[in-house]
Structure 1
Amino acid sequence: MTLDKIIKRIFSVPTVPLHEQFIAKEIYAILSEYPQTKIEIDEYSNLYVSIDSTQNDRSIPLLLFTAHMDHPGFYSDEEGRIFLLGGIDESYLKEAPLTFYREDNGEQVCECKLKSFKIAGNKKSVECKPAPPPNSMGMFNLPPYEIKNGFFLSRACDDLVGVCTLIHLLIRVASKKLNTKIAVLFSRAEEIGFWGTLAFLKKKTLNPQNTIMVSIETSQARGYCSIDQGPVLRVGDKTRLFDANVVAWLQKAMEEYKGVQSGFVYQKKYMGGGTCETTPFMEFGYAGAALCLALENYHNMGSDGHITMESVSMKDWEELCSFLEWFVTYPRDLETLAVKRKERMLALQQEAVERLKENRLF
């Protein structure tokens, strides 16, 4: 299945935090066509998909990717109370156009405008006119997606771009029978506090000492990086810096890939616009970093103060996909790289001591 077909299936259905069922069902349906993929659904409804052609060789660390299935949105509960789920600045909400969908089948049921907003404790409640029916999920009234002038625009790039990227990767690995050991966590409710990821970590399914974790995200470009200048090797997020060994390993791979793929470029940046799933994984003992695409209009908040479509560069996206397909068979020699760095520093130290003694000032 091509990336175009994956995009059509994933971006055509609604999603909001805690109500990602339509995305999850599409992921399951698509990947079920590839018997090499092992699909597991945990008790929290995260999807964990793995491919291991190494016969579970424990000498090879697991390469774990993550992407989340939700995007900030709205939910009308069984009593018709409407809540904002996810981080959107209040200044963007007044008169914002919304579309609501039935929770059971995803059919559109209402178009309305957001009239008021208030925070009560940890809940953000809103009023809409006309009022959407109970048990419906709302997104900003924007096109599901479109491609224009080399850019991919959508109501929910964050993080359905990551979801599509990793579905595509799993399909390519399965179809080409690549010799690798990878897994993908498609998580829930990231936008309201990493709930899916934290629940997954609570189970202690994986061994942090034998897992390399890489988040696949889109991240706010403004103030941090350039859009259309290649995928981003993310060295840190709003909360913390990432693992230096994983970052160095990814950078080495991306530099080598330049010799494989003519014209490939990437950016190495601190992306402080938000916090990604690498942070909770690292807090629970995993070595991790992230790859992302530069995102315009983060969480649909346009530079003009109005709600608008998020966007990423199609060129950046295609380069990320091609790199990941090559990267999954790249040697996982993080310890060797660390030893070589230390050896280089020791050699430089010895040279420094000798030369400084030869060139005393006093």
Structure 2
Amino acid sequence: MTPDDHDLLMALMAQPTAPFREARVRAFAQDLLRAAGVPHFLDPLGNLVVGAASPAGYQRLLATRSREPVRLFIAHMDHPGFHGVRWLAPGVLRVRWHGGSPTRHLTGAPVWLADDTGGEVTGVLRRVRLGKHGLAIDTAEVHLDTPAWRPRAQTVYGAFRFRKPVWRSGARLYARAADDLVGVFCVLATALEAFRARRRPPFLGLLSRAEEVGLVGTVAHLQLGWLANAARPVVAVSLEASRTLPGAELGKGPIVRLGDRRTPFSAGPTQVVAELAAKRLPGRHQRRLMDGGSCEGSAAVAWGLPTLALAVPLGNYHNQGLQGGPDCRAPLGPAPEFVHRDDVAGMRLLCAALLEPGLSWCDPWREVRTRLAAIRAKYDALLTQSDAGPKR
């Protein structure tokens, strides 16, 4: 990972975010893109579209006839967290949780709180209630360390707090939110590189909202219908930080994601990225059906887009102390998420490689056919011999 990429990733993961409260991440991305001259705009639902300056520019790119597909990179700007509901007393805020969470050792857990006007304050959780399914927090009280802080309750959001928003320890990056700010980083870094040459790359990025509560931002974007009448192919590229599983392990490279809990992804585009990974990251990538959860690739498939997906292995998924480590309160209690720098660098490399011209989108199985035909040719003599078995 280059120093510039490292600095960008660290700065991005320091931004506060929660479902429907992505404004600080979005503003950070907009400032970065504006300074670099990369076109971008907000769709009607507040998703950040990268690679076009307006809906009209988006449509012009899709209307340009070409055999080169537009690569639509998708990552989400939110992470599980809470919204303020109402002030119960000075310094005591009732909150409602959105998305997944740890379910144990929650009372007294440190949290941060913010609104979109500036800084952050701290507090702890009390009176935590889980949802009926028992898989995540439903409501809680937050007792603030600074009771004088009192913005309008509904503007407040927050999540679990650790020693820092993000820090490095060896090859690992620990953070209050790696999912999916790692994916957002890859979209932004790929856009900066692609537009540096000042030619129009076949690139679009969708930085979406509220993925953690049901892929909401991406579904809302797809429902706009802007992609329905494209004159050229479009390939969706879902980028995620996904829970570690056997065969998808930290430090062994980015994952070519064959599917998620809901659906397999498209065979042809997946073959394209699998061949790229084999050539660019030999022995340093992984392939797996990542069925620990669903991702925005599912929404792209449901709306008829050819889809491939990449992921980096994620420790302590959704801040659950599944792997433990620093600042983990207890097993299965609140803990910082963590990723491996080399895995992130590998996913970043594959994103750039996917923009190269002349990839085998139109015939992704050509090399496979060539290999299989060569194997068949080795056995021509045996294949053409008379069958010596019994005749009927």
Give the alignment's TM-score, normalised by structure 1. 0.88
* 8 Å contact from structure 1 (residues 228, 313) kept in 2: yes
Structure 2, unmatched stretches of 5+, are 53-57, 88-92, 323-330
**Alpha-carbon shift at residue 346 of structure 1 (Å):** 8.6
CA distance in structure 2 between the partners assigned to 1:257 and 1:339 by the alignment: 18
Alignment-derived partner of residue 58 in structure 1: 66
**Alpha-carbon shift at residue 56 of structure 1 (Å):** 3.5
Q: How many residues align?
A: 356
CA, structure 1 residues 295+120, in 2 after alignment: closer, same or farther (shift >3 Å)?
Answer: closer
- 1:66 is aligned with what amino acid? I
Bigger shift: residues 18-27 or 171-180: 171-180
CA, structure 1 residues 299+92, in 2 after alignment: closer, same or farther (shift >3 Å)?
Answer: farther
Q: 2:176 aligns with which of 147, 155, 178?
A: 155
* 8 Å contact from structure 1 (residues 92, 301) kept in 2: no
Alignment-derived partner of residue 336 in structure 1: 363
CA distance in structure 2 between the partners assigned to 1:96 and 1:248 by the alignment: 44
Alignment-derived partner of residue 99 in structure 1: 112
Deviation string 1:247-279 (CA, Å, 9 cap, x unpaired) is: 111111122224xxxx76211111111111101
Q: 1:53-202 residue pairs with structure 2 within 5 A?
A: 56-77=64-85, 81-91=94-104, 93-101=106-114, 103-119=115-131, 124-130=138-144, 133=150, 134=153, 135-142=155-162, 143-177=164-198, 180-202=201-223
Structure 1, unmatched stretches of 5+, are none
CA distance in structure 1 between the partners assigned to 2:368 and 2:342 by the alignment: 33
**Alpha-carbon shift at residue 170 of structure 1 (Å):** 0.8
- Determine helix, strand or coil for the equivalent of 1:24: helix
CA distance in structure 1 between the partners assigned to 2:67 and 2:350 by the alignment: 24
**Alpha-carbon shift at residue 341 of structure 1 (Å):** 5.3
Alignment-derived partner of residue 354 in structure 2: 327
CA, structure 1 residues 321+348, in 2 after alignment: closer, same or farther (shift >3 Å)?
Answer: closer
CA distance in structure 2 between the partners assigned to 1:82 and 1:45 by the alignment: 23
CA distance in structure 1 between the partners assigned to 2:247 and 2:346 by the alignment: 20
* 8 Å contact from structure 1 (residues 253, 330) kept in 2: no
Q: 1:184-333 residue pairs with structure 2 within 5 A?
A: 184-207=205-228, 210-258=233-281, 265-303=284-322, 304-333=331-360
* 8 Å contact from structure 1 (residues 96, 307) kept in 2: yes
- Determine helix, strand or coil for the equivalent of 2:352: helix
Larger Rg: 2
Deviation string 1:269-305 (CA, Å, 9 cap, x unpaired) is: 1111111110111011011121111111101111222
CA distance in structure 2 between the partners assigned to 1:68 and 1:98 by the alignment: 22
Deviation string 1:195-254 (CA, Å, 9 cap, x unpaired) is: 100000101111477111111111111334121111111101111111111111111112
- Determine helix, strand or coil for the equivalent of 2:51: strand
- Determine helix, strand or coil for the equivalent of 1:180: coil
**Alpha-carbon shift at residue 107 of structure 1 (Å):** 1.6
CA, structure 1 residues 44+179, in 2 after alignment: closer, same or farther (shift >3 Å)?
Answer: closer
Deviating above 6 A after TM superposition, structure 1's stretches of 4 or more consecutive aligned residues are 51-55, 120-123, 342-352
CA, structure 1 residues 8+89, in 2 after alignment: closer, same or farther (shift >3 Å)?
Answer: closer
Give the alignment's TM-score, normalised by structure 2. 0.81
CA distance in structure 2 between the partners assigned to 1:123 and 1:265 by the alignment: 37
Aligned-pair Cα RMSD in Å? 3.1
* 8 Å contact from structure 1 (residues 224, 272) kept in 2: no
CA distance in structure 2 between the partners assigned to 1:344 and 1:222 by the alignment: 31
**Alpha-carbon shift at residue 39 of structure 1 (Å):** 0.5
* 8 Å contact from structure 1 (residues 264, 319) kept in 2: no
CA distance in structure 2 between the partners assigned to 1:237 and 1:94 by the alignment: 33
CA, structure 1 residues 144+110, in 2 after alignment: closer, same or farther (shift >3 Å)?
Answer: closer
* 8 Å contact from structure 2 (residues 314, 339) kept in 1: yes
CA distance in structure 2 between the partners assigned to 1:64 and 1:203 by the alignment: 15
CA distance in structure 1 between the partners assigned to 2:137 and 2:167 by the alignment: 33
* 8 Å contact from structure 1 (residues 61, 332) kept in 2: no
CA, structure 1 residues 6+347, in 2 after alignment: closer, same or farther (shift >3 Å)?
Answer: closer
CA distance in structure 2 between the partners assigned to 1:177 and 1:269 by the alignment: 36
CA distance in structure 1 between the partners assigned to 2:267 and 2:126 by the alignment: 44
